Amino acid sequence: DTGVSQDPRHKITKRGQNVTFRCDPISEHNRLYWYRQTLGQGPEFLTYFQNEAQLEKSRLLSDRFSAERPKGSFSTLEIQRTEQGDSAMYLCASPGQGNYGYTFGSGTRLTVV
């Protein structure tokens, strides 16, 4: 149990469909991060929230992507009109205290066919 929960663990979708992922971070952590990881690469930053405010978005986050954190607790990441290039592991993270890095959720593995 990492303390960060993500749902679903796996998602297979047809190209052009919309998908939504959910992240429940460690409770009472104000910040929440979304990353994407493709095969053979390290995780790449997508966006982050401070409470309910989305404060930074990567250029990787095209206009087909939208993220929300409506009550400053859980977050959702939606991808509209999925493309095969969206196939990746989508990771959510809560920051640690001080100099202790992040705790990641188990991720949602998306396959677009």
Partner 1 sequence: RKEVEQDPGPFNVPEGATVAFNCTYSNSASQSFFWYRQDCRKEPKLLMSVYSSGNEDGRFTAQLNRASQYISLLIRDSKLSDSATYLCVVNLGSNTGKLIFGQGTTLQVKP
- Binding footprint of partner 1 on the chain (CB under 8 A): 2, 31, 33, 35, 40-45, 48, 55-56, 91, 95-96, 99-107, 109
Q: Which residues, listed in sequence order, are joined to residue 108 by a DSSP beta bridge?
A: 90
The one-character DSSP state at 72 is S
Q: How far is the CB of 5 from partner 1 (least distance, A)?
A: 12
The answer to whether 91 and 34 are in contact (CB under 8 A) is: yes
**Closest to partner 1 by CB, 79 or 93:** 93
Q: Cβ 18 to partner 1, closest distance in Å?
A: 24
**Rounded to the nearest whole angstrom, what is the least distance from the CB of residue 103 to partner 1 in the complex?**
8
Rounded (to 5) percent helix, strand, coil in the chain: 5, 50, 45
